[in-house]
Structure 1
Amino acid sequence: MHSEIDNKYVIFKLNKEYYGVPINQVISIERMQKFTRIPNGPHYVKGVINLRGEVIPIIDLRDKLNMEIKEVDNNSRIIIVSNEDIVAGLIVDSSSEVLEISRENVDKPPNTAENDYMEYIYGIGKSDEKLIILLDLSRILEY
């Protein structure tokens, strides 16, 4: 028994590509805000924010996926996600929409070794003319 929500993804952009995370793992989408740096954290953890009384680590998703770092701008967003009791914010270039992608439109990622971040991808979704890289949050949020 699968609910409708299983096929819905929050879509965002990184480096002109579309990425998606399951909507049931997204708590909120926030505008960029000041964060407090934390010493000795992994390089991709930019700091923490206080969001409605909860301290949340902020991950630069470009950095985590070994992409070129980009300055945040007015389009940048923090997508607050949750996976197995871990809550974190992902800095993305821009957030676009919620899409429904049926299971038959999700392919396994190609088995190429050239991408450093293949381990973080669980599938490639097809919607209209867009290809959407679906991220595995359990892998992204492990330290």
Structure 2
Amino acid sequence: MDLDKALRISAAGMAAQSTRLRVVAENLANRDSTGESPGADPYRRRTVSFADRLDRETGTRAVAVNRIGQAPGEFPRHYDPSHPAADPTGYVKTPNVDSLIEVMDMREAQRSYSANLSVLETTRGMLTRAIEALR
């Protein structure tokens, strides 16, 4: 495989995982964000979908972010009639963000990012050694 292609594929993987880490951080930061008015919907968990993309310039396939969407499902509710976002029955909708799931997504994204970084560093080292051999 061409070393330039390996660098591009690794960089694409790092960019995709970086986006995923950003979305996970947003989810964690908003896990307690409720609606601002009675009965209003709170923050909805965001998700990242990946797709296989063809780089026409090099003829390689690499991962890319396909879209950033929202997780479906009902919002958990808890009883707090004094909360400004409580509905007439006293229940407040809370975000559908589960900290455990977010932390697991974060660790997976970190590991994928790290693996791509290792490939990038190894490829760069191979290029450096090839240039030194040509001197």
Structure with the bigger percentage of helix: 2
* Structures share fold, TM-score greater than 0.5: no
Relative contact order higher in (CA < 8 Å, ≥ 6 apart): 2
Shorter-chain TM-score: what band? under 0.3
TM-score, normalised with respect to structure 1:
0.24
TM-score, normalised with respect to structure 2:
0.24
